[in-house]
Structure 1
């Protein structure tokens, strides 16, 4: 028979998170005495002292730190179980929030959404444009159900969904093409580079060569493509976004000695498949099918 209760573990963690019994009482809207009682019962059941008082501070003991790690895992598991139960009881989700990195092929996403929407017309889809670590930040924060990102995540499920080529390009009339010889990074340095800003609010990442003396930073891949097509700089752009421009001759690949093409894995990220509804699972399944034979640069 269990000697402890989930409520006792919750009160223990609340004291740690709030920094004391008084603060925990205000945070969880319970009396200080009830929290003291729950923590005391937990200590008695476990046979260890969880807290020690030094001056006005309530601090974890060594045993308390160990129990906190175990208890936090227990509470996380309970939260997941409750989320699965809620998903099963609700059935088809009413909304699906998908954070998509701007370099991921929009055409593929829209094709998948059209197929899923035909099966689940009652589901509202919220597609959130992101850059670099922005998609995973939304997933971490509970503001997205699925992320399509060039970055994997810790403590979550990361499935490599495709590999995308980024190619160095400029407008066909850009002076770099006029050099008419293989180019080095030093040749690029005097010219303007267009880069895309990470959409995350914290822990921003940077990607690509940043050695140009002049840089313009934009918030989305589409803006970067437009600037390059207007002859206002050079950039490494995702091949799916510029295939038509390369075929038409508006853009031309830079003849770099090295680094002309870069490959990036893109990940389908989510926390727990069991908590996702049928529309989310259908989205992931169709996405896998459409990305299986995506073309890459030669």
Structure 2
């Protein structure tokens, strides 16, 4: 059981940071005698001298300096605990789980998360990265409060969020880009296609053209891009994800007579708006705003 109190440590910190008992009293709105008594009691309890007086100056001892460094962390954590309690009392969630498809633009997502964290700095955010129907499955299982998905929510309302373009690409040394020419369907069928695995565990979906006789299935957009850069296949991937590699020539767009570019609608999904807390509503509001720009 601790023999000292947080209030005593707060008084100690005030004296240390403001250079004396009189100065601390003016800052914390306590009498000088109250602060002096609290610090003296602390020194007695710990059996260590925290301050020494030199002329008109009140200076920390070596032990006081060491304890000040540690007490700053303790007092910060105590303040955080109090704020969490206040948030809970006000109905603010302590945690928010969001399932987001990997094809959704990262910049928009990160800007949204930063805005929410600025508004609710103590919130714990769990980001669940999914592929295809995985986001909606996590939402239906209660593992996420919000889903950003390329599919609408069955038996519920889904909100159009944004359009995302997917482009057919391959590496500069891949047979489909050497030489540069308009490709035929047969040429595509004879080359390896890199496809993304649906992260859902139950009702998985296949999306897009899957006519290639050879196929490698991966779990992440980044893995697909890495394979393409090594000229190991071709794929349709979000333009925002591959644009830097198109710009520097590490990937090239495939020249197809049709279907080289596809646009998919992404949806904002949640089960019951009335059950969403302030943090979830903040995330939704910021995401709506940023995708509308």
| TM-score, reference length from structure 2 | 0.68
- Uncovered stretches (5+) of structure 1, i.e. residues with no partner: 1-86, 294-298
Change (3 A) 1:90 1:138: farther
Q: Residue 251 of structure 2 aligns with which residue? A: 251
In the alignment, is the contact (CA less than 8 A) between 2:88 and 2:94 conserved in 1?
no
Distance in 2 between residues matched to 1:223 and 1:144, nearest whole Å: 25
Residues 165-184 of structure 1 aligned to structure 2 (within 5 Å): 165-184=165-184
Q: Residue 36 of structure 2 aligns with which residue? A: none
Displacement of 1:290 in angstroms is: 1.5
Is 1:228 matched with 2:228? yes
In the alignment, is the contact (CA less than 8 A) between 1:190 and 1:213 conserved in 2?
yes
- Secondary structure in structure 2 of the residue aligned to 1:178: coil
Is 1:261 matched with 2:261? yes
Q: Residue 152 of structure 1 aligns with which residue? A: 152
Residues 41-190 of structure 1 aligned to structure 2 (within 5 Å): 91-190=91-190
In the alignment, is the contact (CA less than 8 A) between 1:164 and 1:265 conserved in 2?
yes
- Secondary structure in structure 2 of the residue aligned to 1:217: strand
In the alignment, is the contact (CA less than 8 A) between 2:163 and 2:266 conserved in 1?
yes
Distance in 1 between residues matched to 2:104 and 2:198, nearest whole Å: 14
Answer with 1 or 2: which has the greater Rg.
2
In the alignment, is the contact (CA less than 8 A) between 1:227 and 1:233 conserved in 2?
yes
Q: Residue 13 of structure 2 aligns with which residue? A: none
Distance in 2 between residues matched to 1:164 and 1:149, nearest whole Å: 11
| TM-score, reference length from structure 1 | 0.67
- Secondary structure in structure 1 of the residue aligned to 2:158: strand
- What do residues 112-151 of structure 1 show as CA deviations (whole Å, max 9, x unaligned)? 1011101101110000011100000000010000000000
Runs (4+) of structure 1 exceeding 6 A deviation are none
Displacement of 1:164 in angstroms is: 0.2
Distance in 2 between residues matched to 1:269 and 1:120, nearest whole Å: 22
In the alignment, is the contact (CA less than 8 A) between 2:172 and 2:178 conserved in 1?
no
Distance in 1 between residues matched to 2:155 and 2:214, nearest whole Å: 39
Is 1:215 matched with 2:215? yes
Distance in 1 between residues matched to 2:149 and 2:89, nearest whole Å: 30
Displacement of 1:180 in angstroms is: 3.0
- Secondary structure in structure 1 of the residue aligned to 2:257: coil
Q: CA RMSD in A?
A: 1.5
- What do residues 220-249 of structure 1 show as CA deviations (whole Å, max 9, x unaligned)? 112111111221110000011111111111
Distance in 1 between residues matched to 2:260 and 2:139, nearest whole Å: 32
Change (3 A) 1:239 1:233: same
Displacement of 1:184 in angstroms is: 2.2
In the alignment, is the contact (CA less than 8 A) between 2:101 and 2:130 conserved in 1?
yes
In the alignment, is the contact (CA less than 8 A) between 1:184 and 1:258 conserved in 2?
no
Is 1:195 matched with 2:188? no
- What do residues 248-270 of structure 1 show as CA deviations (whole Å, max 9, x unaligned)? 11111000001100110000000
In the alignment, is the contact (CA less than 8 A) between 2:97 and 2:144 conserved in 1?
yes
Residues 256-295 of structure 1 aligned to structure 2 (within 5 Å): 256-293=256-293
Moved more, 104-113 or 176-185: 176-185
Distance in 2 between residues matched to 1:260 and 1:131, nearest whole Å: 21
Distance in 1 between residues matched to 2:284 and 2:261, nearest whole Å: 28
In the alignment, is the contact (CA less than 8 A) between 2:194 and 2:234 conserved in 1?
yes
What is the number of residues matched between the two proteins? 207
